[in-house]
Amino acid sequence: MSPLSVLAPAKLNLFLAVTGRRADGYHDLVSVAAPLEFGDTLTMEPAETFSLTCDDPAVPTDETNLVLIAARAWAEATGRRGGAKFVLQKRIPMGAGLGGGSSDAVAALRALNAREGRPLESAALAELAARVGSDCALFFPGGPVVMRGRGERVAPLAAPVAARLRGRRVLIFQPGFAIATPWAYAQLAAKAPGSYWPARDAEARLAAWIGEAGAPAEALLFNNMEQPAFAKFIALPALLDRLLTQFGLVARMSGSGSACFALLPEPATVAAGSRRPAAGPAVPVAAITQEIRAAWGPAAFVVETRLA
């Protein structure tokens, strides 16, 4: 059987309101997340046992990796024997808030399920993914979603609303340091209750954006996890302020960071009748990239992509 390759897309949290801590230690949230056209590639071929290799030596390939956790969860749920050799081409930076580990796990589930004739239907596969990791379920609808609970309750945005986001051009950038998600949530909890955003307020803001037919994606952007990150890592807000001043770009942090993003207008060369958003003022991506690397160093991660 020939190897099977699956895209594991990165994600952005365009809107993220952490609303409180639960009795089980997790946090409740209200979020709008969207997958990207950019991501990792997971290749799988049959083998007697489950194993993982990666082209990034910094990625752990032992039993702690979500790819192997997901694979074993799938085998237990289906009763299937045998294994798979997974090879991961890592492009999504770690500790970035871009969902790379969760997306890799979902790619493993999709690949295994497809190879074995889809013994689990989509709903069952998504439920299994939610048990593997809080962010996993968001990758199943294949487009922008609203996440609630600890992230396991996922609902696709209605098509007209999702159309405001799909295909939007976006620049992703990350400094040379990561932010550990447990640390970020612990900082919120330590400063509670003022660090949390009331769920009713989060839902009201989201409903207002959804209900305003012409509201652009930029009007949705929010993330209260920026509070602890920006207080400790001042290089983040310093650069975002400079991008606003110099280029008029409203940039935000994704998830718990440290990656940030800015939505970009379309080039003026987009053909008439295109389904892409209308062209805006020219934004020199090369100049933006130069500014990012001048602030964060030449090793800063920068990639241009689109919301899927």
Q: b/e string for 274-289 if b means 16 or more Cβ within 10 A?
A: eeebeeeeebeeeebb
226 residue type, one letter: E
List, as one string, the DSSP characters of 186-247: HHHHHTTTTTS--HHHHHHHHHHHHH-TT--GGGG-EETTHHHHHHH-THHHHHHHHHHHHH
CB 78 within 8 A of CB 119: yes
**Which of these is catalytic: 28, 40, 104, 135?**
135
d(CA 135, CA 151): 6
Helix 66-78 × helix 100-115 angle, to 10°? 30
Tell me if 254 sits within 8 A of 301, measured CB to CB: no
Report helix, strand or coil for 89: strand
The pair of three-digit structure tokens given for residue 16, joined into one six-digit string: 């993220």
Assess whether 11 carries a catalytic annotation.
Answer: yes
Q: Is 90 a catalytic residue?
A: no
Whole-angstrom distance, CA of residue 92 vs CA of residue 55? 12
Q: Are 129 and 108 in contact (CB under 8 A)?
A: no
DSSP at 138: G
Q: Which amino acid is at 78?
A: T
Active site residues: 11, 135
